[in-house]
Structure 1
C-alpha cells in the first residue's frame, strides 16, 4: 500500500487542451506567407462592392423634401451614388447603383479592424446633412457565405441627433468583400 506510487487519473480534457496548444504552436511556427487560418483576414488587395438598391421612409422636415445621396466608406476610400431631387418622406428612392472601393496593400490588422459605413445624406449646396447611417465590421461581411450580404434592408439612425436611437429611414443594399485570391460570386 505504501510502497507503490498511486497513479493519478488521466485528465482527458487536459490532454485535449495540450493537443490544441501544440497545434496552435505548430500553426504559429508555419511559414508567414501561408494561407490565413479560419477566421482571419488576409493581407493584400481588397474589393468592396456595394450595390445600393433603394431607400424608403426617409425622415424629412415637416412638409419638406430631401435630395438624398448615399456615401459608402471603407478602408480609407469613399464613393457616392448620384443625388436624387425633391423626395418626400414616404416615397421610395431607387438608385440601383454599383459602388466599388478597391483599397490596395491592406495590412491584416487594418482589414480585421476595418469598417464599412453607409450614410444616407441630404445633399446640400455647401455640405451634405446626415439623415442616417449604418456601420458594418468588414470582417462581418467577409466571413459570410461567399463573402456576401445580399438584398438586405438596413435601419438607419443619426448618431449626431438629439434622438440618436430614432430610425431615420431604411436602405436596401447588397455588399461583397473579397481579397486577392478569393473566389467572387457573379
Structure 2
C-alpha cells in the first residue's frame, strides 16, 4: 500500500535518518549510432549537484557500458522529484568545449509516475540541448529506479540487444521533455 502524505497539508516532513533515504538507481546500458568519427565516448549522469561518469569506451560509435550508479537524497520526496536527471555523452578524446555528442534530460517525477517507479531498458534520443531541432546525435539505453524507504528494487536486467533493433521505434522519451 502506498504511503500517504503528511496528515496536515502544510507540513512537509524532512528526512532525518538512513531509514528516510530516497535513492535513485541509474543504469547506463549502451549507446548506438553516436555521431562522430573515431570517437571514444563517455556518459556523464548528473542529478542534483552530483555527477558520475561511465568508463571510456575506445574507438566506437556503439559503446556498451552496463554500469550502475546511485544518487542518495535526504531531502523531502517532493524536492527530490523536482530534480532533473541529465545524461550527456562526450567524446573523451576531445578536451575542447565542443566534445559533447548529445544530451537528454527529464524530471525525476516522470520516473516516479511509471509502474514501480521504474523505467527499465528505455532508449533516449540524444540531441544538442541548445538546438534540439538539429536532429538526433545518437541513442542511449538506460534504466532508472526511484527507491524509497523499504522499497524493493526491480531487477534491472539488460535486455538482449539485437543489432537490428529498431531504436527509432523504441524511443520512449522524445523532444517534448527536452524542450521543457
**Cα separation, 2, equivalents of 1:176 and 1:126:** 32
* TM-score with structure 1 setting the length: 0.67
Match of 2:8 among 18, 28, 34: 28
Matches within 5 A, 1:125-144: 126=95, 129-144=99-114
1:55-77 C-alpha deviation (Å, 9 max, x unpaired): 111111xxx31110011111222
**Cα separation, 2, equivalents of 1:106 and 1:31:** 14
1:15-73 C-alpha deviation (Å, 9 max, x unpaired): xxxxxxxxxxxx5369765xxxxxxxxxx52211111111111111xxx3111001111
RMSD: 2.6
**Relative to structure 1, is the Cα distance of residues 126 and 145 closer, same or farther in structure 2, using a 3 angstrom cutoff?**
same
User: 2:27 aligned with 1:51, yes or no?
Assistant: yes
Q: CA deviation at 1:114?
A: 0.7
Q: Which runs of 5+ in 1 are unaligned?
A: 1-26, 34-43
Local SS of the residue matching 2:39: coil
**Cα separation, 1, equivalents of 2:119 and 2:88:** 17
**Cα separation, 2, equivalents of 1:97 and 1:155:** 19
**Cα separation, 1, equivalents of 2:11 and 2:82:** 23
Q: CA deviation at 1:170?
A: 0.3
Q: Which one has the largest radius of gyration?
A: 1
**Cα separation, 2, equivalents of 1:97 and 1:167:** 23
* TM-score with structure 2 setting the length: 0.69
Q: Which runs of 5+ in 2 are unaligned?
A: 1-6, 14-19, 156-180
**Cα separation, 1, equivalents of 2:121 and 2:100:** 23
Matches within 5 A, 1:47-86: 47-60=23-36, 64-86=37-59
Q: CA deviation at 1:177?
A: 1.2
